[in-house]
Structure 1
Amino acid sequence: MAALFTPLVLIFATNANPSQFCPASCLCYDSSNLVECRGLELPIVPHHLPHSTWMLDLRHNNLSRLEPASFQALWSLRILLLSDNQIEIVLARSFRSLGFLERLDLSNNYLTSLPNDFSRGLGSLRELRVPSNRLTALSYESLRHMESLEKLDLSRNYLSSIEQGAFRGLSRLRHLHLQSNLLDSVRGGYFFMLQNLELLDLSDNNVSSIAVESFTSLHSLRLLSLSDNQLSHLKFKTFLNLQTPSTHIQVSGNPWICDCDLQRVFGKITSVRHLHIDDYDNLTCAGPPQLSGAALISVDNQLCVAETATVLVITITVLVTVIAAIVMAERNRKKNQEKNWNEPDGPFETQDK
């Protein structure tokens, strides 16, 4: 096994084949086409990387920017690991030579945005990881050329804004991680055209409202996580629009207002065969005050009792009032009829006298 990862001997002859060069301090493994430059405090991407490089490991360095020349002529590159650096800037066309790249990891950097041409040249990319950065917004232009993307991780950022249809070009996307951001709502155009999406993680945001049509096009969704947000109520139609074979939903950690409407919504959701609330037993009430902290499952049978009693009292009151009105009307009718019969006919009585 050791022979498989024998580092190349550095050759610096003037007529040497450039594909045999290996940057100083990096390790190049010819058998696996792996170039490892991990943890070397490099300020820039090394030059003269072997053209046959299949995997480039630049994790735990001091890179601060990516430029068009950073990965020039690395046409064979499939995996690029750039996590745990200080990358703040990605210049235009930085990935233009990476037409066969399948995995790009930018975790734990300082990116505040993805430039509009970020995806240019990344048509073969299948996995993009950008968690633990400083992203605040996401636009359609940043992702439009990633038609092969299957996994996208944007978790643990500061995303508060997503352009309508930002993911619409990602028709093959299966996993979308948006947890631990600052999103306050889920709008109707966010997940348009993601018919192959299987996992959508929106947990640990500030979501307080969800548009009814938000999940309409997610026909393959298996797991939807909405836990640890600011949801107090739900609309049943929002989930009824999930036309999937089977979807598991997570909603714990929200400030639920436990009332009859909420009980009815969850009751309807659980009655739909393909929808499953995984953590219903863990839901707690944030309101009304008398139910604060109570488990929803322990009070759900009582939530509609008061409302039912009120409706019953109102119904009985209305019924009694109607009956009383009918009785009084009938009495008045009979009185008027008797009065008419008992009144003398004036002209005839005068003639008799």
Structure 2
Amino acid sequence: MCIFPVLVFLGVFLCAPHQCLECPSGCECFAVTRTVKCVSKALLSVPPNIPGYARTVVITGNNIHKIGPDSFTELENVTNIILSNNRITEMASHTFSALVNLRFLDLSGNQLALIHPEALRIPGSPLQELNLSRSLHNFSALTDLTTALRWGGLGGLLRLDLSGNHLALLPPGMFSHLPNLQQLFLANNSLVAVYSGTFSGMNHLEVLDLTRNAFGTFRADALQELEKLGNVRILLGNNPYACTCEIRDFVSWLNKTKAVVDVEAVRCSSPSRLTDTQLRGLSVQAIGCVVPVLAEVADLSLQTSYVFLGLVLGFVAMVFLFVLYLNRKGMKKWINEMRDACRDVLEGYHYRYEIDSDPRLGNVSADSSRAQRHLALALSQQLPSDTCIVQVPTDLQIKQVTTSPPVNL
């Protein structure tokens, strides 16, 4: 009676790791750990009939060129999928939509060239870790990935690994649709600069890895972008920093930033006299930067010029006032004459205004003017042709004007 239960237990124990339960051909299934492994089996597609109890699926070292929604069906319990080194080149739309409990996805070591905008979309956004290191085949794949991150509904993603993809630049706002991302790994790429808006929208970032890239320095806009991240851990070591005058802003930022930087690994790569010298604490004189000194000299010269100009203008004003003082009597006489002249003119205008405003004086003035015109006409008829009549306000004066005979040339 006791032998039968023992045999049943031994049978289950010995068969569980292998084929006693349903397992795809060429794969190994482990019921105890709920794991299915298909490693280096030259598979051309994801094997069907993966046991429903599986939580971890490891398919690596095969020749699977395309994956789609039909590759993963009835796998609601799967939480981890490792698809590394399978030479995958294409991910179709909603490839992982059936994996509603997927937490970890590893696509590293593939050759992705075509990524559908909704390839990573999963209902409920359960995905927390995404490994795409050494997986992007070309720049178009980066563009596709940027779109997939935007339309993938990855609001719950916490960790993203893009290391080793030979990235030369990052599109602005590439990670803006990953609001809860905490760890971003961009190591071992070819990045040369960080542009404004590269890390926008990442309010919960804790770790940023930029080691082993091609940074020679960080410009002012890049430093502002890094400073916006707040008190995060930023790894900047093992980059070819050129310790010239252009790096002084970066050195100043290292000395005052609130971010936790691996300053011991941030060292000069050139020039040779500063090779392997730590950037933090590096003085301006050490990097041979004379621009600040020249700037101070220029500012001092400009201040001196303004002072000299002020002295010259003050001296000219004093000379002008001294000349006015010496000619004060003449100035006073000239002012009095100008005042009398202005007063005479104003009195004349006032007198004319009184005459024009009184109708009686206006008639008298008109009759007087008419009589003067008649008298002048009569005299002009009686006098010789060389006589000129000049009218003055009080009376008429007749002057004899003689004309000289013309001169023949």
State the TM-score, normalizing by the size of structure 1: 0.74
Where does residue 307 of structure 1 map in the other structure? 291
Output the aligned Cα RMSD. 3.6
In 2 relative to 1, CA 170–2 (structure 1 residues): closer, same or farther, beyond 3 Å?
A: farther
CA distance in 1, matches of 2:224, 2:135: 30
Q: Which amino acid aligns with 2:226?
A: F
Does residue 100 (structure 1) correspond to residue 77 (structure 2)? The answer is yes
CA distance in 2, matches of 1:209, 1:10: 51
Q: Which amino acid aligns with 1:6?
A: L
Q: Which amino acid aligns with 1:240?
A: E
Does residue 122 (structure 1) correspond to residue 106 (structure 2)? The answer is no
Aligned residues: 313
CA distance in 2, matches of 1:237, 1:141: 33
Does residue 224 (structure 1) correspond to residue 204 (structure 2)? The answer is no
CA distance in 2, matches of 1:224, 1:208: 16
Where does residue 242 of structure 1 map in the other structure? 229
Does residue 111 (structure 1) correspond to residue 88 (structure 2)? The answer is yes
Q: Deviations over 1:29-69 (max 9, x none)?
A: 5x62x7xxxxxxxxxxxxxxxxxxx4211112111233xxx
In 2 relative to 1, CA 97–77 (structure 1 residues): closer, same or farther, beyond 3 Å?
A: same
Does residue 335 (structure 1) correspond to residue 319 (structure 2)? The answer is yes
Matched-pair contact (CA < 8 Å) for 2:81–2:106: yes
Matched-pair contact (CA < 8 Å) for 2:23–2:50: no
CA distance in 1, matches of 2:293, 2:23: 81
Does residue 271 (structure 1) correspond to residue 256 (structure 2)? The answer is yes
How far the C-alpha of 1:144 sits from its partner, in A, is: 1.4
In the TM superposition, 1:1-353 aligns within 5 A as 5-7=13-15, 20-21=21-22, 32=32, 54-66=34-46, 70-72=47-49, 74-136=51-113, 138-145=115-122, 147-159=125-137, 160=139, 161-162=142-143, 163-164=145-146, 166-168=148-150, 169-231=153-215, 232-234=217-219, 235-243=222-230, 246-258=231-243, 262-268=247-253, 271-273=256-258, 275-286=259-270, 295-297=278-280, 299-302=282-285, 306-342=290-326, 345=330
How far the C-alpha of 1:342 sits from its partner, in A, is: 5.0
Q: Which amino acid aligns with 1:134?
A: Q
Q: Which amino acid aligns with 2:183?
A: L
Q: Secondary structure at the match of 1:86?
A: coil
Q: Deviations over 1:229-256 (max 9, x none)?
A: 223324222122214xx42111123343
Q: Which amino acid aligns with 1:95?
A: F
Matched-pair contact (CA < 8 Å) for 1:270–1:277: no
In 2 relative to 1, CA 119–23 (structure 1 residues): closer, same or farther, beyond 3 Å?
A: closer
In 2 relative to 1, CA 126–9 (structure 1 residues): closer, same or farther, beyond 3 Å?
A: closer
Matched-pair contact (CA < 8 Å) for 1:281–1:296: no
Matched-pair contact (CA < 8 Å) for 1:8–1:22: no
Matched-pair contact (CA < 8 Å) for 2:251–2:282: no
In 2 relative to 1, CA 199–3 (structure 1 residues): closer, same or farther, beyond 3 Å?
A: farther
In 2 relative to 1, CA 92–242 (structure 1 residues): closer, same or farther, beyond 3 Å?
A: same
Greater percentage in helix: 2
Q: Secondary structure at the match of 1:104?
A: strand
In 2 relative to 1, CA 270–140 (structure 1 residues): closer, same or farther, beyond 3 Å?
A: farther
CA distance in 1, matches of 2:148, 2:255: 31
In 2 relative to 1, CA 8–228 (structure 1 residues): closer, same or farther, beyond 3 Å?
A: closer
Matched-pair contact (CA < 8 Å) for 1:131–1:154: yes
Where does residue 42 of structure 1 map in the other structure? none
Q: Which amino acid aligns with 2:237?
A: S
How far the C-alpha of 1:211 sits from its partner, in A, is: 3.3
How far the C-alpha of 1:181 sits from its partner, in A, is: 0.4
CA distance in 2, matches of 1:119, 1:24: 22
Q: Which amino acid aligns with 1:334?
A: M
Larger mean CA deviation between 217-226 and 101-110 belongs to: 217-226
How far the C-alpha of 1:138 sits from its partner, in A, is: 4.6
Matched-pair contact (CA < 8 Å) for 1:203–1:227: yes
Matched-pair contact (CA < 8 Å) for 1:55–1:78: yes
Q: Deviations over 1:294-325 (max 9, x none)?
A: 54236344359623322221111111111111
Matched-pair contact (CA < 8 Å) for 1:165–1:189: no
Larger mean CA deviation between 133-142 and 114-123 belongs to: 133-142
In 2 relative to 1, CA 300–65 (structure 1 residues): closer, same or farther, beyond 3 Å?
A: farther
Where does residue 16 of structure 1 map in the other structure? none
In 2 relative to 1, CA 118–55 (structure 1 residues): closer, same or farther, beyond 3 Å?
A: same
CA distance in 2, matches of 1:346, 1:191: 80
Matched-pair contact (CA < 8 Å) for 1:173–1:197: yes
Q: Secondary structure at the match of 1:81?
A: strand
CA distance in 1, matches of 2:301, 2:312: 16
Matched-pair contact (CA < 8 Å) for 2:177–2:201: yes
Q: Deviations over 1:123-158 (max 9, x none)?
A: 211111111111246554111117111211111233
In 2 relative to 1, CA 328–24 (structure 1 residues): closer, same or farther, beyond 3 Å?
A: closer
Q: Which amino acid aligns with 1:326?
A: G
State the TM-score, normalizing by the size of structure 2: 0.65
Q: Secondary structure at the match of 1:82?
A: strand
